[in-house]
Amino acid sequence: MSSWSILCDFDGTIAVEDVTDVILERFARPGWRAIEDKWRDGQLSSRLCMQQQVSLLDMSLDELDEAIDDIRIDPAFPAFVHAVQRTGWSICVVSDGLDYAIRRILSQYGLEALPIYANHLTQTGTRSWRLDSPWAASGCSVDSGTCKCARARLVSTAQQRTLLVGDGASDFCAAEHVDFVFAKHRLIEHCRAHNLHHVPIVGFDDAIHFLPALKHSSEKIHQSALQSLELRPHA
């Protein structure tokens, strides 16, 4: 039986919205969209982009908490976590988002004990904030605040394979350093374009469905998983 370490993205994967975008749209002073445009044009790394955007936030802690508490997650995610834990496999959240928001949201579902690797949000004044990146990695090709590639390499061993569950651009590099991917949204096209072993999923109901296939996986897991996906009707 294969042993797996599972890395889950947060924004757009576990959470149904991008938490950082929700916070910026509500509380950032003018200029944050121009910073976003520079990142999209390749003029800024994602880490510097987020640091500059967070410096524009004008909100109290109470206002932040109120905004965070309105954000919901995929309703099947808690069941997915419990299913993974019953196998004895490890699971963690690896995100280029905000650790405070992730931890507060997950605590609403009794999942606050999950390991979280994300950017650290620090309150520097009554209404001012700073972003630190304790999980950045020197030499990271995209200079992300959280280097998911480095985390994937760290947990991958000869005895333990790695699974990524993700949805977007911040997961592209990591998808190329894991053994298998459960992919949503833009990550599906990336995996297809680079011939990465993956299955497309709609949400964590699908992810739960594929866990048994991982237990007895071989190098050809991608073939059996794809067949299983095609056979599974979606509501």
Summarised one tens digit per residue, pLDDT across range 212-223 is 888 766 545 555
Domain extent listing, the chain: 3-231
Degrees to nearest 5, angle at CA 100 with 98 and 103 = 105
The predicted model gives 95-106 an average pLDDT of 97
**Residue entry with tokens 């001012």:** 128
**Secondary structure element (H or E) that encloses residue 165, with its range:** strand 160-166
Q: Report helix angle 99-107 to 19-27, nearest 10.
A: 110
Q: Which fold has domain 3-231?
A: Rossmann fold (3.40.50)
pLDDT at position 44 is 94
Read off the pLDDT of residues 40-97 as tens digits, 9 standing for 90 and up.
999 999 999 999 999 999 999 999 999 999 999 999 999 999 999 999 999 999 999 9
Q: What is the pTM of this model?
A: 0.91
Degrees to nearest 5, angle at CA 24 with 98 and 18 = 55
Are the C-beta atoms of residues 201 and 183 closer than 8 Å to each other?
A: yes
- H helices, E strands: number in the chain: 11, 7
Are the C-beta atoms of residues 105 and 49 closer than 8 Å to each other?
A: no
The C-alpha R_g of the chain, in whole angstroms, comes to 18
